[in-house]
């Protein structure tokens, strides 16, 4: 029993050490997030922290079932505001180490699959323009 208890304590200490070194943290223990490009989010910060996944699912359902694209809670709008630019002037994917989506989802130990299909950087207007 003591070995099991010691093994569990060791695992917890090791996991804590690994997680503590993973990503930048704000002074209050939450992940440090890059500054968004917009001045105001589409919803209050607390609403987005708690409900962004539901808002995105609702938007997804509207898009798939009714063909409604864009909209207040579209993933493309999130990415266009929250993808930061690197030193080379190109957008850094929101899923890259230390970036917006990755920081919070890593902190919360949540795996997301949105970006297995969706773009992690804003669309290039020059490439998407109709000619």
Instruction: Tell me which residue range forms the domain holding 48.
Output: 25-125
Residue 11, domain member (yes or no): no
pLDDT over threshold 60, residue 17: no
- Residue 101's CB: how many other CB atoms inside 10 A? 22
Mean residue pLDDT of the chain comes to 80
When comparing pLDDT for 114 and 128, which is higher?
A: 114
pLDDT over threshold 90, residue 30: no
Residue 4, domain member (yes or no): no
pLDDT over threshold 60, residue 85: yes
* Total of domains in the chain: 1
Report, as an integer, the average pLDDT of 94-101: 90
Percent residues over pLDDT 70 in the chain: 78
When comparing pLDDT for 2 and 127, which is higher?
A: 2
Distances (CA, A) of 22 to 3, 39, 65, 95, 124: 28, 28, 39, 14, 31
Q: How far apart (Å, rounded) are the C-alpha atoms in residues 31 and 65?
A: 35
Residue 37, domain member (yes or no): yes
Residue 76, domain member (yes or no): yes
Residue 16, domain member (yes or no): no
The confidence band for 27, taking pLDDT boundaries of 50, 70 and 90, is low
Query: Considering the entire predicted model, what is its pTM?
Result: 0.65
pLDDT digits (tens, 9 = 90+) for 98-109: 898 999 899 889
Residue 9, domain member (yes or no): no
The confidence band for 25, taking pLDDT boundaries of 50, 70 and 90, is low
Residue 65, domain member (yes or no): yes
- Which of the residue ranges 26-30, 52-56, 113-117 has the most confident prediction, judged by mean pLDDT? 52-56
The residues that bridge with 91 in the sheet, in sequence order, are 85
């Amino acid at each position: 029993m003591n070995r099991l208890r010691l093994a569990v304590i060791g695992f917890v200490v090791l996991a804590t050490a690994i997680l503590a070194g993973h990503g930048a943290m704000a002074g209050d223990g939450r992940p440090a997030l890059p500054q968004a490009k917009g001045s105001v989010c589409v919803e209050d910060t607390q609403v987005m922290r708690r409900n962004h996944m539901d808002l995105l699912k609702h938007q997804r359902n509207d898009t798939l079932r009714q063909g409604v694209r864009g909209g207040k809670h579209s993933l493309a709008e999130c990415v266009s505001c929250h993808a930061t630019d690197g030193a080379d002037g190109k957008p850094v994917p929101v899923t890259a180490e230390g970036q917006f989506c990755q920081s919070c989802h890593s902190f919360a130990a949540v795996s997301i699959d949105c970006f297995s299909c969706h773009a992690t950087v804003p669309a290039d207007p020059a490439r998407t323009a109709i000619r």
